[in-house]
Structure formats: C-alpha cells, structure tokens
Structure 1
Amino acid sequence: MSGGIGGKPSSEPAADSADAVRERLRLDVPLGAVAPRAGGGWIAAAGPGIALLDVSDGAGSGSADIEIDWLARPFDNSLVPMRMNDGVADPAGRFWAGAMPYDGTTGAGRLFRVDPDGSVHAVLEGLTVPNGPAFSSDGTTMYLADSARGVILQYRVGEDGGIDGPAAVFATVDDASPDGMTVDADGYVWSALWGGRRLHRYSPGGSLVDVVPVPAAQPTSIAFSIRAPHRLLVTTATHGLTEPGLLDGATLVTSTTVAGLPTATFGAQV
C-alpha cells in the first residue's frame, strides 16, 4: 500500500519478501497506518481523517480499485495543518490512531479511538507527534510515544475503551525519537528509534533490556510477521535525508528469539 509518508508496517506475509507482493493500492492522501477489518478490507488513518477501505475484485492486478468510506475527517478545515499518523487495532476490536501537526506545533497532536460500530472519539489532546500505539495482550495497557518529546507513555484502558487515569512515563530517549511500537508474546515493548539507527526492547516495567542495531538512519515502525512469528519487520524512511542509503525507505527483516502477539482486527475481539 502507498499514499505518502508511511507509518506502521502491515504484518501481512507479503512484507517478508519483495517477490511476494501481490497488490498495490494508492490513495490521494498520505497514508499513516492500516489495520485489517473483520469480514475483509481495512481501516486506515490517512490524510485528514479515518476511513474504511474496500478493494475491488481486481486486486492483485497491480492497479486495484479502492472504495473509501470516510468515518471522520476532523482536519479538513483545521487552523493548524494536521494529518493522521500511526494507528493500530486493539484486542477488543477498536482502532486507535494519532494525528500530528505538519509544522510540529507543540501540543496540537491528538489521539482518536474508533469503536467497532464506526463511531470516532477524540480521547487524548496535548500531544505533539503521537506514534504507536501498542497494547498489552489483554488490551488493558496502552503504550503511546510522543516522538517530539522523546518519551513513551503508558495508559490504563477500561473495558469501554476509556482512559483510566493520567499517563505514566514508561521510557525516555535522549538522542533519538521513539516512533512505531509493538508488543511481543512475553509482554515486552519494542520501539523503533527515528534518527537512532536502532530498536529498543523494554520489559513490562520499562527497563531497557535489548538494543538491536538497524542499518538505516530512520527506523519508523515494527511488526511481527504472521507467516513466521519469530520474524520482525522494520520499516525505515528517507524523509529529510539529503543522501539516503540503500536501506533507507525500505522494509527490513530480522529474526528474534521471541514471537509476536496475534494481529488484532478492527471489529473483532482477539
């Protein structure tokens, strides 16, 4: 999938190999993130809002038609130019997605939640560049990076999807920006470090336990493969680089000793 600046990598097996790619969809707005939907199709954080995506039967030809059903476009007339950024489905079948200001205006970022019935709710304000989010296996803990601040925050999530109490600081990074995240089967949090050429793996208590070098300047996000659970997919970006390297703007693959959690689907409980 393409449509501009990318965020979270899909955990589809096609991402394991360039030779395995079978379809390419193009939007006319920047695509931040997608998650699979129960019954088929995708939910996407893209451009000014959040939409449902359905692909025609011609998918696989390399130029599939796509039907877009916008659930909300909160930034069509925003005084501060904004775009949707990273997003993910949680184990309860909800979709969470952040929005960021193009110009980096401090505190202009937000986090939205989409319930399985398609209703869209603004749940957090005062962020700048929200990335992630990622969830514990039971969905009661949410990890959310504010990349501009170099911090990963931790929130308690209620059964109804409400945020229970204030954020706790889970981890901080001084020399890079925490970007996309995922949680593995042991409950440890993986974070891509934009500008840091590495991944961090944190214990559930927030201790840094592993550092994985990445041969690219700007790792953007992480996902575990559904074809090979111990295979980790890492996306990288060329944005802002005057001389991008061969592995900037790519999807990289590495093996791990731990597996990922099942991929959550919008509209279905894990």
Structure 2
Amino acid sequence: MSPHSTAVAPTPGILLIRVGLAGSSLRWDANAACWRWPDPQGGQLYAWTGGEEVPAGVRLLESAGVIACCRSGRMLLGLGKRLGMVELPDPGQPVRPLQAQVLATIDAAEARTVISDGCTDRDGYFVFGTANTGADRRPIGSFYQYSTRHGLRRLALPAVVAASSIAFSMDGTRMYFADAAKGAIMQCTYDAERAKTGDVREYALAAERGAATVDSDDMLWSVQGGSLVQYDAGGHVRRQVVLAREAMAGVAFGGADLTQLLLLGARGGLYRLPPGQAGELAAGVADTPFDDTPGAGVAVSQRMRYDD
C-alpha cells in the first residue's frame, strides 16, 4: 500500500517558533532563502531562514494579511481593501516602518469586503479573493486576478462569504478555491492570459476550508482547522494529519529542494511535521514570483474600471 493512501493518526506538529498572530499567508521566498508571513494584528512582516531563534521582522505602516514574493525581490501585499508593494530592506540596513505603494483598490464601493486569500498563478499573476467582514455574512466576496500587464480583472466565479483555498495545479490550467464559511472545495479550468474560468464543479467535501497548496504529485494539501488534509486529483482523501495544537492558518512547501512542509498557526506558531511523516511526502511546487515588470498604466485603467 502506498504511504499516500494511509491516513496518519492524530499527532502534534513540532513547534519551531512562535511570534505574533498570523495572517493566512505563508510563503517560501526562494530568492532570499527564507520563509515569510505577515502578522496583520501586529503590523509585522516576518522572515525566518530556519536557523534563528527569533524571526526578523519589519513593521508595516498598513497591516497586511496576504503576501506574494515578486520577481524583483519586492513583496506584494493584500492590505485590507488594497493591493500594495513594498521594497524590503537589505540585511543590516536600519529598519523603518515600510510604506506600501498602492497598486489597486478592490471593490471600493463596498465597505464590508477585504482581501482574505491569494497566491500567484503559474504565469506570475496574483489571484486573490475577498471576504465579507460584516455581521450579515452575506456572500458578497469575489475572486480577482491582478497583473502589471492586464491590471485588475474579476474572475467569473461564484460569490462567497470568505474566499479561501486558492491554489493551482502544476500546469496552471486548474484552479482550486472555496468559501471558508460554507460548502466544499471547488475546482475550475483556468486560463491565466485571458483571466477566464470554466467548468466550475465540486472537488472535495470538507468540514472546514482554509489555505491550500499543491505538491509535485499534483495533489492538493488543505488546512482544515487543526488538521492538514491531502487530496488526490479526483478529490479523494489520501492523508490526514491531525495537529491539534492550534488552528492552522497557512501551509507552504519550502527549503532549497522544496521538501519542507511547514504550517502557520492562527496564534503565530510555525510547525513542521514529525520526521517519520515528513519523509514520506512528495516535494512541493515552487511559487512563480509575481511579475512586477513595469506596466502601471494598464493597472490604473483596470482599477478605475472596477472602482467607478
């Protein structure tokens, strides 16, 4: 029997460090060889190479909940209702609070929505979704694609209470997404260049739906409360790891060979799996850095189209 076909018994994850309160976004920055994640409540952006007792942090003038690494070395941030870009300081430089350059305002006429999840697709475009923070919890969240080439484009996907579980297949032609408040993990066909989706259908039932990533076997890993669940291409559960220490907020593969699978806890803990389990896993798939090649004129015109 394949190890991927056997569910793992409940076991605590190994706590590496704990700092701040986490957002939903954990990323491996291949250029800087470090893990990065935001603390939206503390207004911090953390970096950790794996060897320090305490991660390095820089303060943001505006709190971020979602991040993506850029081709230039900058960071793309989801700042409430806005997308922004920051230049990261070089090691050893004096660290001052970072002011983000605003790239786009999302759904400006609707005060209840904020950016809740996002990642780059295989072409280096940023795909993200929004959540309704109002007490009514109506499904008014949407999914978008942002690029310097095409600007902001809304994806033709169902409205949600809170967008989550955004991830892409290895070849980039299939997108996963979910409403964190209800329903199942969904999948659809995806054309990055045209920002076109189709064949929207249920991928897997899940009691909870959080951050997600894809491994080099083209299987989806989904954070579900205190558990991590692996699904095959057909949406069948292949493995479940019950970590139990705290609810998980993010998941990512990293390290030089992308064989380290780390999880970010909602209370700021960073965890790895026990060695016996981690050794059985396929490697991850590298994030495509956001393509921040200059193209601001297009981005502004698209932003105005949606904000008017």
- The TM-score, its normalising length taken from structure 1, stands at 0.83
Offset of residue 18 of structure 1? 6.5
Aligned match of 1:246: none
Aligned match of 1:245: none
- Check conservation: 2:85, 2:100, Cα contact below 8 A: yes
Aligned match of 1:261: 285
Aligned match of 2:174: 141
Over aligned residues, Cα RMSD in angstroms?
2.5
Among 166, 190, 193, the alignment partner of 1:160 is 193
Offset of residue 217 of structure 1? 3.1
Among 117, 121, 137, the alignment partner of 2:153 is 121
Q: How far apart, in 1, do the equivalents of 2:114 and 2:209 lie?
A: 19
1:10 aligns with 2:42: no
Larger RCO, structure (CA 8 Å, separation 6 or more): 2
Q: How far apart, in 2, do the equivalents of 1:63 and 1:76 lie?
A: 32
Structure 2 unaligned spans of 5+:
1-18, 36-47, 293-308
Q: Residue 128 of structure 2: SS of its match in structure 1?
A: strand
Q: How far apart, in 1, do the equivalents of 2:163 and 2:130 lie?
A: 7
Letter in 1 for 2:138: T
Cα 1:22–1:62 change in 2 (3 A) is: farther
Among 215, 237, 260, the alignment partner of 2:266 is 237
Offset of residue 8 of structure 1? 1.6
Cα 1:205–1:60 change in 2 (3 A) is: farther
User: Which structure: larger Rg?
Assistant: 2
Cα 1:67–1:112 change in 2 (3 A) is: same
Post-superposition CA distance 1:140-188 (Å, at most 9, x none): 00111211114111010125242332411001123xx210000000000
Q: Residue 52 of structure 2: SS of its match in structure 1?
A: helix
Q: How far apart, in 1, do the equivalents of 2:74 and 2:239 lie?
A: 35
Aligned match of 2:210: 179
- Check conservation: 2:144, 2:153, Cα contact below 8 A: yes
Aligned match of 1:47: 80
Cα 1:60–1:88 change in 2 (3 A) is: farther
Letter in 2 for 1:188: M
Aligned match of 1:223: 252
* Of 63-72 and 257-266, the range deviating more from structure 2: 63-72
- Check conservation: 1:6, 1:32, Cα contact below 8 A: yes
- The TM-score, its normalising length taken from structure 2, stands at 0.74
Q: Residue 28 of structure 2: SS of its match in structure 1?
A: coil
Q: How far apart, in 2, do the equivalents of 1:164 and 1:136 lie?
A: 14
1:103 aligns with 2:134: yes
Figure out how many residues of one structure are paired with residues of the other and give that number.
Answer: 251
Cα 1:166–1:223 change in 2 (3 A) is: same
Offset of residue 62 of structure 1? 7.5
- Check conservation: 1:93, 1:116, Cα contact below 8 A: no
Off by >4 Å, runs of 4+ in structure 1: 2-5, 59-62
Q: How far apart, in 2, do the equivalents of 1:56 and 1:16 lie?
A: 16
Letter in 1 for 2:100: I
Q: How far apart, in 1, do the equivalents of 2:216 and 2:54 lie?
A: 27
Aligned match of 1:83: 114
Cα 1:82–1:258 change in 2 (3 A) is: same
Q: How far apart, in 1, do the equivalents of 2:107 and 2:25 lie?
A: 21
Offset of residue 262 of structure 1? 1.5
Offset of residue 95 of structure 1? 0.5
Q: How far apart, in 1, do the equivalents of 2:60 and 2:183 lie?
A: 30
- Check conservation: 1:3, 1:31, Cα contact below 8 A: no
- Check conservation: 2:145, 2:195, Cα contact below 8 A: no
Aligned match of 1:242: none
